[in-house]
Structure 1
Amino acid sequence: MFLVCGEALWDLFAVEAEHSLRFDARIGGSPFNVAVGLARLGQPAALFTGISTDRLGTRLVEALDREGVATDLLVRSARPSTLSLVDLGADGVPVYAFYGEGAADRSVRPDQLPALGPEVWGLHAGSYSLAVEPVGSSLLALIEREAGRRLVSLDPNVRLTVEPDTGLWRDRVDRFLRLSDLVKVSDEDLALLYPGTGAAEIAGHWLSAGAGLVVVTRGAEGAEAFSAAGRVAMPGRPVAVVDTVGAGDTFQAALIAGLAEAGVRRRAALDALDREQVGRLLDFAVGAAAITCTRRGADLPRRAELPSLAEEIT
């Protein structure tokens, strides 16, 4: 089982009409999406986050149950559910405004960290839960406790509308990545955190700091990976884009699922991947993300929609 840690919320897509504005509410939150994405790709997954006991929170739990994501590690509280207003540009790229001060997903304390059994082989953390308190320090404590014992995955997924201090983000990302085995990051996040510095240089620093595989996503242009095996690039898939909501989360879930299918559940196996194996893993993740881009909102693909992978990587 892979444990995904972070936020769970509702995305409200604005729909304009004459003299009115209505909202199309969709379940979201980057870690929530990754957990659902793993389950849809046939991988046992659990979510660790704070979820409200209000009706919106109850609907989040019900959605996890429907998707087959384990909910026994959720921290329920009477705090409100986070809302995110989503405005889509002409290119389908979303702009977010978050309303979640004091919300349940931000309020997880260190004393609420779960005990993990041997069935949990990896953990993933990312997005604004890294940078807001008390959940940020709580997740850092969890990763510090488990690093070296389980495979750790990280996606910064920077949200400056939640925490505008890029210095704080750089510090928090640095602390998490030193404990991480797999790091996935978008080129947009790199430009925000390290303006003027190339992806290859940053990836080199992160590999030196302890990461085993660094993957940089470039939207429609595809992705590139850096590891001890060298650099591998994979072009994007041309599709009719509806919007890009959830594409990065799909890519992340597909990376983890691809590793799981190939039996890569330990750091030594991750380090042993050669360039051809990494390329096939990237191709799988790029293909999964492309499917999500053809749909409204974070509607992640199921395993049957993607080609076989295990035989290709192993």
Structure 2
Amino acid sequence: MTGYGVVIGEALIDLLESTASGELVYRPAVGGAPFNVAVGIARLGAPVHFLGSFGDDPFGARLLDFLDKAGVGTEGVVTVPGVATTLAVTTFQGHEPTFRFYGAPPSYGLFDAPDVDEGLVAGARLLYCGSMCLLAPPVLAAARRAWAVPGPVRVFDPNVRPIVGINPDVVAEFAATADLVKLSSADATALWGDSPEAAAARLLALGAKAVVVTLGAQGALVAQGSSSVLVPAPRIAPVDATGAGDATMAGISWGILAHGRPADLGAWATLVRVAVHVAGLVCESPGGAVSMPTVADLRARFVDLAV
């Protein structure tokens, strides 16, 4: 049943805090939440295309090369002359990353509505958008244009970054017509001061057909209609939580591409169970996109997982 997915959003370079010979160093790694999602979908075995803007420097070339080698389609991307790739300096409190972003204009924020290939979107089984790129007016216009194309299952992830600003109105706009909204418990707090349950109810009332709220080591809350269920996370040995939410979104998106949109809460829960295992496996390795697993990796690590 697998069709292809389209992911709209940011690609950037994470500078990951680490140590070498007792000295603090920052290691460059490919990143950006939508970038991670696209790579995750491809690694799991579904066709996917990335739409976004890139700098014309060596980091931009590295990002595009990584997508190409991962099997992600890049015919819809835009490389902007004279623009340096945005950097995200990533520090850690335990296993949890925090980010500060550098680069003006942001290299990811220059993809505009005329850049959207509507034919590519119309032919897709799934369309993903979200994250901080929607704070850039050109990308917001591009996402609105793609979102209006009929056909794909629409999945939305606010992926709030309080350090760069929050726009609850944009979240409400996309949630109103989303087939699925995925957010974290931290997103729920930052956006509305809500509990996961209250955030899910709010999004469903806005029009979202299903909601998944990730809860870190506790798993994920899945809600549809007036019902909800908690899907527990697997027991893991965490190293780095960078990209965990993106891995969950990749797992959900891959499941929709492979099996279609779930018809009821139980089917959503089954799909999300696989997705939280994808996230768990990513947390056992450093980095985000570079840690996205294959289905074979999942089966090897979680032998009782039906996938």
Q: Compute the TM-score of the two structures, normalised by the length of structure 1.
A: 0.88
Q: Provide structure 1 residue ranges, at least 5 long, that are not aligned to the other structure.
A: 265-269
Match of 1:194 in 2: 192
Q: Provide structure 2 residue ranges, at least 5 long, that are not aligned to the other structure.
A: none
Deviation readout 1:134-154 (Å, 9 max, x if unpaired): 2223222321x22x4221110
Q: Distance in 2 between matches of 1:263 and 1:113?
A: 24
Match of 1:285 in 2: 275
Q: 1:25 aligns with which of 23, 28, 41?
A: 28
Q: Does 1:114 align with 2:120?
A: no
Q: 2:169 aligns with which of 151, 155, 171?
A: 171
Range with greater deviation from structure 2 (25-34 or 102-111):
102-111
The alpha carbon displacement at 1:17 in A equals 5.6
Matched position secondary structure for 1:211? coil
The alpha carbon displacement at 1:99 in A equals 0.7
Distance 1:203 1:60, change over 3 A: same
Q: Which amino acid aligns with 2:238?
A: V
Q: Which amino acid aligns with 2:54?
A: I
Q: Does 1:303 align with 2:295?
A: yes
CA RMSD of aligned residues (A): 2.1
How many residues in Structure 1 have an aligned counterpart in Structure 2? Answer: 296
Q: 1:233 aligns with which of 230, 235, 248?
A: 230
Q: Which amino acid aligns with 1:71?
A: T
The alpha carbon displacement at 1:205 in A equals 2.7
Q: Distance in 2 between matches of 1:285 and 1:210?
A: 23
The alpha carbon displacement at 1:286 in A equals 1.1
Distance 1:233 1:47, change over 3 A: same
Match of 1:153 in 2: 155
Match of 1:267 in 2: none
Q: Compute the TM-score of the two structures, normalised by the length of structure 2.
A: 0.90
Q: Does 1:100 align with 2:100?
A: no
Match of 1:185 in 2: 183
Match of 1:37 in 2: 40
Q: Distance in 1 between matches of 2:284 and 2:45?
A: 21
Q: Does 1:213 align with 2:213?
A: no
Q: Which amino acid aligns with 2:254?
A: A
Matched position secondary structure for 1:134? helix
The alpha carbon displacement at 1:100 in A equals 2.7
Distance 1:239 1:52, change over 3 A: same
Q: Is the 8 A contact 1:31 1:126 kept in 2?
A: yes
The alpha carbon displacement at 1:34 in A equals 0.2
Distance 1:112 1:128, change over 3 A: same
User: Superposition pairs for residues 46-57 of structure 1, below 5 Å?
Assistant: 46-57=49-60
Match of 1:13 in 2: 16
Q: Does 1:128 align with 2:132?
A: yes
Q: Distance in 2 between matches of 1:235 and 1:120?
A: 31
- Give identity over the alignment, percent: 32
Q: Does 1:259 align with 2:263?
A: no
Q: Is the 8 A contact 1:245 1:293 kept in 2?
A: yes
Q: Distance in 2 between matches of 1:220 and 1:120?
A: 33
Q: Is the 8 A contact 1:232 1:278 kept in 2?
A: no
Match of 1:242 in 2: 239
Q: Is the 8 A contact 2:76 2:115 kept in 1?
A: no
Distance 1:18 1:295, change over 3 A: closer
The alpha carbon displacement at 1:19 in A equals 8.6
Matched position secondary structure for 2:128? strand
The alpha carbon displacement at 1:238 in A equals 1.8
Q: 1:203 aligns with which of 200, 205, 222?
A: 200
